[in-house]
Structure 1
Amino acid sequence: MRILRTPEDRFANLPGFPHTPQYVDLGDVRMAYVDEGPRTASPVLLLHGEPTWGYLYRKMIPPLVASGHRVVVPDLVGFGRSDKPESINDYSYAQHVEWVTNWIAALDLRDITVFCQDWGSLIGLRIAAEQPDRFARIVVGNGFLPTAHRPPPAAFRAWRAFARWSPVFPIGRIVDIGTVTKLTAAERAAYDAPFPTSRHKAGARAFPRLVPITEHDVAIPANRAAWAELGEWRKPFLTLFGSKDPILGHADKALQAHVPGAQGQPHDRLNAGHFLQEDHGPELARRMDEFIRATS
């Protein structure tokens, strides 16, 4: 496995993101993360998706820390400051789950409240279902756990084709398209920062094609097992979705109907796009804090 590592000077002067990264060696790869707030507090784990990195949570970290929470934000392998395997074939759904599972174990995170969005939910929901003793509650924002029981929307199929075949893959502009509140040039540049060359984008290119959409996909048995476990999940479960998300904006209803812990929770849809952390970061942090306090 050939590994690329983004030069640190690419991350200089990131607007709104002054956090010092920490690292965990997972064997073949090094995974970066931000860890803010009191270490004695229960962790709030924020999992990003495609094609972003921990920078996506810059509007949520300060208010959560100010409310007394420990906030832990990893960069998935292939993104942010984490190592980036150069070949698209080095990425798989199972490998991403393993990387994040091993990272959680290395930090020995327990009593976790997880917020997961996009691929963060494909990974986070799997791990929470497989290791429920480490998790206290779940918040999903524009996410789901695919089990190939229903066809994906046309918007996803178009996105999958674009990620695979487009000669250009402009990360910052992709994020900007997926928001209601438009990004500044500096913010778009911050999303581009981890990817100085096209070779660094193998992980970002890989994610859409790794979503299991047919029952023959190798990830489906594990996902269906996790979905069954979520059908028994009675711990607090909250959905906060963006109403302007063309791909996942209506996936919240299936989660609410399936997960027992979702009953009676203050679910909502916000005026937001796919990257609702950009559109309503402080509001999401406030609602998470309220949710944690109400269910503790």
Structure 2
Amino acid sequence: MKRLFVVVTIIFVILVGIFQHSRNSDSDINYERFNLVTPGVLRTPDERFNDIKDYPFSPNYLTIGDTRIHYLDEGPKEGKIIYLLHGEPAWSYLFRKMIPTLTEAGYRVIAPDMVGFGKSDKYISIDDYSHQMHVDKMVQLVRELDLKDVTAHLHDWGGLVGFRVIAEEPERFSGIIASNTSLIAPGRGFLRDLLSHISYPLFKLGIWIQGPATWEEFIGGDGFTGWIRYSRYTDNIDIGGIMQTLGNVSDEERAGYEAPYPNATYKAGAQIFPYLIPSELRKNEMAYRDVFEKWNKPFLIANSDNDPVTSNNPRLTEMLKRVPTAKEIVIKGPGHFIQEEAGPEYAQLIIDFINGDPQPFIKDRVVPVINL
């Protein structure tokens, strides 16, 4: 088995060396066109956010390594902390409809933008992004802010990153809500352990063999691989289009999600995120074994019935049920971005979860008028 692993790895490395290329390497960039703060790092100009509606929150910044991280810090400083972590391709703007309900109830809300998103700095090259990089940045932010007794709400890629953050600092967290997300891991056993070593190289090879997918193929139901093939190879990932397709947002809200990205070069983080999903299966598995299989604090799986991600992939939810205290509710009506379609109701669910009595709810979908 070890020989097989070595052979497969060598073959993959050779193929990658021949065929793989970075679509936005530093050498291809005309630096004069961008707000470059350090070599390889961009910062979205503040004026890009001037016209965003319903986002009246004051910015807060923390420099971690070579990047400046933006985060919201709303509500009373002495309040119990709720940590909201966004996913792909959102940023803290996603939580604008939830924050007022949470702060009015006396909670302190911390909502960071991950590197490459929102008001946080953005690497130019997709090669600078990794699952571990995101984990390291968010762990450092939690430590620097000295957050304690935290209820974490993790959505989409916020789960893949956030669960690993919690695994690094479990004593700081008192409860977890997983929303349309998972922590993907192979499970126990020798063959599954072997799979965790070789699956990502094989996955990347498979994506390269299949080649690019068009936007029409992606939204037409080409599934998980279609999403990755589209995002990995596109020249300009359509962040607003994704939010309108999966989030039921208006044209004005679409502009809010596009605001952090003056042009395609600022979108490297969103472009590469889907491609990184299976990149750290072994570390994810160790997080289950070391922390989450021993978790004895509240843990809620809150998925929506119209989410194409979790509803079409029940294995994602089953993975989370390795957590001994896991309970599941289904929210009827909203799609992938519950926070957009039912922000106040979802915020109340979080409050009820903290108080020990989370209840599912029904929210009829209202499709906004979209100017095509």
Q: TM-score, normalised by structure 2?
A: 0.73
- 1:270 and 1:71 mapped to 2: Cα distance? 25
Q: How big is the shift at 1:267?
A: 2.1
| AA matched with 1:69 | Y
Question: Per the alignment, do residues 251 and 75 of structure 1 end up closer, same or farther by CA in structure 2, a change over 3 Å counting?
Answer: farther
| AA matched with 1:244 | N
Structure 1 residue 278 corresponds to structure 2 residue 340: yes
After TM superposition, the structure 1 = structure 2 runs for residues 71-220 of structure 1, keeping only pairs within 5 Å, are: 71-148=109-186, 155-179=223-247, 182-212=248-278, 217=279, 219-220=280-281
Residue 368 of structure 2 aligns with which residue? Answer: none
Q: How big is the shift at 1:184?
A: 1.7
Q: Which residues of structure 2 form unaligned runs of 5+?
A: 1-38, 193-198, 204-220, 358-372
- 1:220 and 1:252 mapped to 2: Cα distance? 13
Question: Per the alignment, do residues 36 and 154 of structure 1 end up closer, same or farther by CA in structure 2, a change over 3 Å counting?
Answer: same
Residue 239 of structure 1 aligns with which residue? Answer: 301
Aligned Cα RMSD in Å?
1.9
Contact kept in structure 2, 1:155 and 1:246, CA below 8 Å: no
Give CA-to-partner distance per residue, 1:207-244, whole Å, 9 cap, x none. Answer: 011111xxxx4x22211111222111110001111211
Question: Per the alignment, do residues 256 and 92 of structure 1 end up closer, same or farther by CA in structure 2, a change over 3 Å counting?
Answer: closer
- Compare CA radii of gyration and give the structure with the larger one: 2
Contact kept in structure 1, 2:182 and 2:320, CA below 8 Å: no
After TM superposition, the structure 1 = structure 2 runs for residues 51-66 of structure 1, keeping only pairs within 5 Å, are: 51-66=89-104
Q: Mean Cα displacement is larger for which, 190-199 or 13-22?
A: 13-22
Q: Per the alignment, in what secondary structure is the counterpart of residue 226 of structure 2? A: helix
Contact kept in structure 2, 1:238 and 1:266, CA below 8 Å: yes
Aligned length: 286
- 1:155 and 1:54 mapped to 2: Cα distance? 26
Q: Per the alignment, in what secondary structure is the counterpart of residue 134 of structure 2? A: helix
Structure 1 residue 293 corresponds to structure 2 residue 355: yes
- 2:66 and 2:81 mapped to 1: Cα distance? 26
Q: How big is the shift at 1:147?
A: 1.2
Q: Which residues of structure 1 form unaligned runs of 5+?
A: none
- 1:34 and 1:49 mapped to 2: Cα distance? 16
Q: Mean Cα displacement is larger for which, 107-116 or 168-177?
A: 168-177
Q: Per the alignment, in what secondary structure is the counterpart of residue 69 of structure 2? A: strand
Q: Per the alignment, in what secondary structure is the counterpart of residue 321 of structure 2? A: helix
Give % identity.
40
